[in-house]
A and B are shown apart, each in its own frame.
Chain A
Amino acid sequence: MGRYLLRRLGLAIVTLWILSLIVFFAGQILPGNPARAILGNLAAPSAVRALNHQLGVDRPLVTQYLSWLGGLLHGNMGKSYTYQSAVEPFIRAALINSAKLAALALVVIVPLGILGGVIAALNYGRALDRLISLTGSSAATVPEFVSGIVVIVIFGVTLKVLPVTAAAGAGASFFTQLKYLILPAVPLVLVLFGYIARMARAGTIEALESDYARTATLKGLKRSVVIRRHILRNSLLPTITVIATQTGYLIGGLIVVETLFNYQGIGKLIFSAATAKDFPMLEAGVLTIGVVYMVATLAADLLTFSLNPRLRVGGME
C-alpha cells in the first residue's frame, strides 16, 4: 500500500508540474504585453516599458517561470493587477464559497446518481432503463447556463419561489444560505447526474451478469440480498473514481453558474480576472482548481485501492 501511495503521489506531482507549465504558458507568454493590457492602448510607450519592468516581464522566460513557481511554493500567489494586493485572500474566500455550493450539489447528486444507475441496471433493456439513461445523458450535455436560465425563469421569475442570486448576505443562517443555493445547485446536479448514473449502471450490469452473481442466486438467496451483499460492493467500486473525476466538471460548471447567479466563488473569480486581464489572479485561480482536482482524484484512487481486495491483498499464495 505504501509503495502504491508513493507512486501515485509522484505521478500527481509530475502532472501538477505539467499543469503549471500549461498555465504559465497561457497566462504569461501568450498575451505578450501585460503592461499594455493594463494601461490600455493609449498609454505612452515609456510608461508601458516601466510597468513591464516593474512587473518583471522583461526578464528571460525561464527566470520568470522559476520565480513564479518559487513564489507559489512559498504560498505567494503574486499580486493582483486589478486590486494591487495579494491574490491569496481572494482565492481563499472564493474557495470557501464554492465549496459550499459544490458540497450541496454533491450531497444531492451522489445518492441520486447511484440510485438512478442501479435502478436502471436492474431494469436493463426495459423502458425505465432507457428513460433513466437517456434523461441522464441528455441532462449531462445541456450547458449549465441553459438549465440555469430555464430554472431561473420558472422558479425565480414566474413562480417567484426561490431567490435568483446565490448570495444570502453576510451573517445569514444555515438554512437561509441553503435556500439561496438551491437554484444554482440545480444545473450542477443535472450535469453530474448523467455521468454518475451511467457509471453506476454499467458497474451494476457487469456485476449482475457475472458468474458470482449466478452462484449467489443459485445458493437460494433472496434477490435483495444478492444485490445488497454481493453485487453492490463490486459495482460501486468504479463509481467512486468517477465521482472524483466529476469534480472537474463540477468546477467547470462553477464558472458558469457563479457568473449567472452572481456568486463570489472561485469560478466567478477566474472569470472576472480573465475579463479584467488580471493574469496573476487568473493563473492562481486555475492552478488552485488543478490542485483541488488532483487531491480529489488521489483520494478516490486511494479509496478504490483500499476497497479492492485484489489490489490490497496481492496475488497467489
Chain B
Amino acid sequence: MTGPSQADRAGQAPAATYEPAAPALQVGHVDVTYRVRGQDRLALRDVSFEIGRNESYGLVGESGSGKSTMALALTRYLPRNGRVSAGSISVGGRDPLAMNRSALRDFRARTVSMVYQEPGKALNPSIRVGRQLGEVYEIAGSDKTEAEARSVAMLRKVQIADPGRVMDAYPHQLSGGMAQRVVIAMALAASPSLLILDEPTTALDATVEAEVLDLVAGLRDEVDTSVLFISHNLAVIAKMCDRVGVLYAGELIEEGPASQVFDEPRHPYTVGLLRCIPRQGQRKDHGRLDAIPGFLPQPGDDRAGCVFAPRCPIVVEQCRESPPPAFDVGPDRTSRCYRHEETADMPRSTPSDITLPAQAFEAEPVVTMRDLSKTFTSRAGRVGALAHVNLDIRTGETLGLVGESGSGKTTLARVLLGLTTPDEGSKVSLKGQPLGPDLAHRGREQLKSLQIVFQNPDSALNRRHTVRRLISRPLAKLAGLSGTALQDRLMSLVASVRMEERHLSLRPSQLSGGLKQRVAIARAFGGNPRIVVCDEPTSALDVSVQAAILNLLADLQAKERVTYLFISHDLGVVRYLSDRIAVLYLGRIMETGPAERVFAGPHHPYTEALLSAVPSLDGQRLDRIKLTGEIPSAADPPSGCVFHTRCPRRLSSGICESTEPPLAEVEPGHLMSCHIPLDELRLMQNIGASDDNRAPGP
C-alpha cells in the first residue's frame, strides 16, 4: 500500500503500480464462456491484442460482438455464470485472473478504471458528488481534507467551471455531460495504467459528446494512461484512437492502425461495415449504402470455419473448413481472412447507383404549419417545447428534422400525428384542409394520411400479437379491406418489405431487430398513407442492419410516392436520405433548406457547430466550433435569439440578445433565423476558424 502520496496540484496520485517496460494491456488467446441454461456458450474466442503505454486502442463491434464482455473480463467483473475459460490477461504487468481478493481490490483501485454509458446511473443517487469522488482518494490513502482538496482540483481538470457547487450537488442535479465529466474525473483520479471507456458518449447529445471526447483526448496528453475505447460508432473510434480492433461474433477479425484499417480495410466484414455507413457524397440514389446480407450467428451455432463465412461475398471452401489464423497484412496489422488480399475489390450486394423516379413536387405543400406552439405545464413550471414554428412539407419529399435533446423535434412529430394537442392559435393543415388538434377531431381520411415508424420496434409492436395481425389491422381499419382483397394486399406488403410468408405466424419476440422494424414499416404503409413520420427508425438497430432499412425506406418512398418527415440525431443518415432539412433548437426553427445547401454552407451558426461536432470517417475538420455551456432549459429560454448564449459568432452590437431574428428567406428555398447576413456568414465560414468576427463568450 502506498503511504500518503506526494500529490501534485493536478490532484492525481503518481502512477507507481507497474513496471515501466510492461505494456498497458496484454490479452493473449482469451476465451470467455457463459453458462446459459446448462450449456456453455463462447462469448469471446481466441482474442489477442496489446495496448502500449500511452496508446489509445479502439474496440469496435456491433451487438453480440462481445466487446462489453471484454471490458468485464479485464476488471474481473463477469457475472456469476461467466468465466475466462482460456488465455491470459495482463494489465500494467499484473494478472487480474490470478489475484486474491485484496490484490483484486488494489488492482481495481489503482491499475484499471472504467467509464460506462449512462453517467447519471453510475453515480450513487443518495451521496453527494464530492464524497463519491473523494472516496477514490481515500482508498489511495488520503485523509478526508486532502481528498476533498484533490477532488476539487480534479474537477477543474475535467473543465467543470464551478467545482465547489458540483462537489455539494447530488447526481440528479447534474446534466448528462457534467455527470460524465465527474465519472471521468473519478476514473482518472487514481492514475490508472489503463482507462476503459465503454460507449461513454452514446447517451449524450452531439455537441456534448464532442466536448467529452475532446476532454478525453486532451487529458490523454497530460496523463500517463492508456485508453481502451469500446464503441459501435466507427467515426468516434476513428477520431479518438491510434489503433483499432474489429470484433465480430466474439472474434477479433482485423486489427491495425485506425487510419489504415478504415481507409483500406482488409477483412470482408470491415469492408461491409464501412459500406453501411453513409459518408459525404453518398445519397439514396447515388453511391448507395450496401447492406451485409445474412444474420449475426446465434450463440450455440456451429462454427466449423471462419465465423463470417455464412455472410461473406467472397467465401470459398477453405473458409468453411477451418478458421483462418491472424495473417500479417502490414506492419502492426493483422486480418483473419484467407482472402485478405482481395478485399479491396469485394463485390457489393446491391447496386451503387439506381434511378429513382423523379419526384413530382407539387406547387402546394402537403403539410403546412403556421405559428405552431406547444407548451407543457408541469410542477416544474411551463416548458415551451415548440415556439411559433412555421414549416412546410412538400409532396413527395423527405424532410429531415435535425436537433439535439430539447429541440422539440419529437413534439413536432407528435403534434402532426395528433398524439399531442398543440396550443391555441397553432394552425396545421393537410392538403389545404385544417387538421384537427387531436385524433378525436380527425376524420378517417386524415388518419389514413399520417402514419409513423417508431424508433424502438420492441415498444412499437404489441408483443402478444402475431405479425399477420399486426399488419392486417391497418388494412382492415384504415384501408377498409377484407377477405381476398385484404389477403392480396397483405402478401404484397410483406413482399415489398422483403419478408416471407412464414414470418406471418410469428410473434415479435421471435424476430430480429431488423425484421421487427420491417413489420413496423409494413404496418405504417398498410393504409396507403401520404405522409410517414420516421422517428429515428434505425437508431435502435445495428449498423449493418441500418443500411438495409434505410434503403428499404427510400425504395418504398419511390414506389408508393409518400412524403417522409425523417427525424434523426445522426446527421450522416439524415444527409443520405433527405431532400430538405429543417434544423431545430429549443423549439424554434433555425434553418430550413435543400439538404446540400444546408450541409455545405453557408449555414446557421448552430448548424455549423452541430456539423463540426459530429465525428466523421472522412477525416476531422481542424476548425471545430466549440460551443460553450449547456443547452439552456426550455422552461427558461434565453431572450432574443435563443442560441445567443452559446453562439460563437454572436454579434457585438447586442442585437442577438435583444431581438429574436425572423425566419427569413436568405436565398431561394433557403430560410434562416439569424441576424448575420448570408454573405457575411459565407465569408466567416469559408475562411474557417477565424476569430475576427467572433464575439467574446458568455
State in angstroms the CA–CA spacing of A247 and B138 once bound together.
42
State in angstroms the CA–CA spacing of A212 and B119 once bound together.
9
Chain A residues with CB below 8 A from B165, complex form: 317
- Which one of A218, A229, A234 contacts B125 once the chains associate, using CB atoms below 8 Å? A234
Contact in complex: B124, A221 (CB < 8 Å): no
A212-B121, A220-B107, A315-B172 known; A234 and B135 CB under 8 Å?
Answer: no
Chain A residues with CB below 8 A from B109, complex form: 219-220
Instruction: Tell yes or no: B468 within 8 A of A by CB.
Output: no
State in angstroms the CA–CA spacing of A272 and B169 once bound together.
56
Counting chain B residues whose Cβ lies within 8 A of the other chain, the interface size class is 20 to 34
Q: How far is the CB of B405 from chain A (nearest CB, A)?
A: 13
State in angstroms the CA–CA spacing of A3 and B593 once bound together.
49
Q: How far is the CB of A206 from chain B (nearest CB, A)?
A: 12
Chain B: which residue is nearest A207 at the CB level? B124
Chain B residues with CB below 8 A from A234, complex form: 124-126
A309-B170, A313-B170 known; A233 and B126 CB under 8 Å?
Answer: yes
Question: Could you give, for residues 286-317 of chain A, a 1 whenever the CB lies within 8 Å of some chain B CB and a 0 otherwise?
Answer: 00000000000000000000011110011111
Instruction: Tell yes or no: B77 within 8 A of A by CB.
Output: yes
State in angstroms the CA–CA spacing of A161 and B108 once bound together.
56
Question: Could you give, for residues 109-145 of chain B, a 1 whenever the CB lies within 8 Å of some chain A CB and a 0 otherwise?
Answer: 1100110101001111111000000011001000000
Chain A: which residue is nearest B380 at the CB level? A315
Instruction: Tell yes or no: B174 within 8 A of A by CB.
Output: yes
Chain A residues with CB below 8 A from B190, complex form: 219-220
Instruction: Tell yes or no: B579 within 8 A of A by CB.
Output: no
- Which one of A217, A219, A221, A230 contacts B127 once the chains associate, using CB atoms below 8 Å? A230
Chain B residues with CB below 8 A from A315, complex form: 172-173, 380
Chain B residues with CB below 8 A from A237, complex form: 126
Q: How far is the CB of A165 from chain B (nearest CB, A)?
A: 47
Instruction: Tell yes or no: B90 within 8 A of A by CB.
Output: no
Contact in complex: B135, A212 (CB < 8 Å): no
Chain A: which residue is nearest B169 at the CB level? A317
From 189 to 225 in chain A, residues with beta carbon under 8 angstroms from any chain B beta carbon are: 210-212, 214-222
State in angstroms the CA–CA spacing of A304 and B118 once bound together.
26
From 164 to 191 in chain B, residues with beta carbon under 8 angstroms from any chain A beta carbon are: 165, 169-170, 172-175, 183, 186, 190
State in angstroms the CA–CA spacing of A215 and B182 once bound together.
12
- Interface centre among B124, B127, B136, by most chain A C-beta atoms within 10 angstroms, is B124
A222-B105, A310-B170, A315-B172 known; A217 and B124 CB under 8 Å?
Answer: no
Contact in complex: A310, B172 (CB < 8 Å): yes
Question: Could you give, for residues 225-252 of chain A, a 1 whenever the CB lies within 8 Å of some chain B CB and a 0 otherwise?
Answer: 0000110011001000000000000000
State in angstroms the CA–CA spacing of A314 and B169 once bound together.
10
Chain B residues with CB below 8 A from A211, complex form: 116, 118, 121-122
State in angstroms the CA–CA spacing of A60 and B596 once bound together.
81
Contact in complex: A217, B108 (CB < 8 Å): yes
From 73 to 115 in chain B, residues with beta carbon under 8 angstroms from any chain A beta carbon are: 75, 77, 105-110, 113-114
22 A-B contacts (beta carbon < 8 Å):
A210-B121, A211-B116, A212-B124, A215-B116, A215-B186, A216-B124, A218-B77, A219-B135, A219-B190, A220-B106, A220-B110, A221-B105, A221-B139, A229-B127, A237-B126, A307-B126, A309-B126, A310-B170, A315-B172, A315-B380, A316-B173, A317-B165
A-to-B contact residues, CB < 8 Å: 210-212, 214-222, 229-230, 233-234, 237, 307-310, 313-317
* Apart from A212-B122, A215-B186, 9 more pairs, CB < 8 Å: A210-B121, A212-B125, A215-B183, A218-B75, A220-B106, A230-B124, A237-B126, A309-B125, A310-B170
Which 4 A-B residue pairs are closest in the complex by CB-CB distance? A220-B109, A211-B121, A220-B108, A212-B124
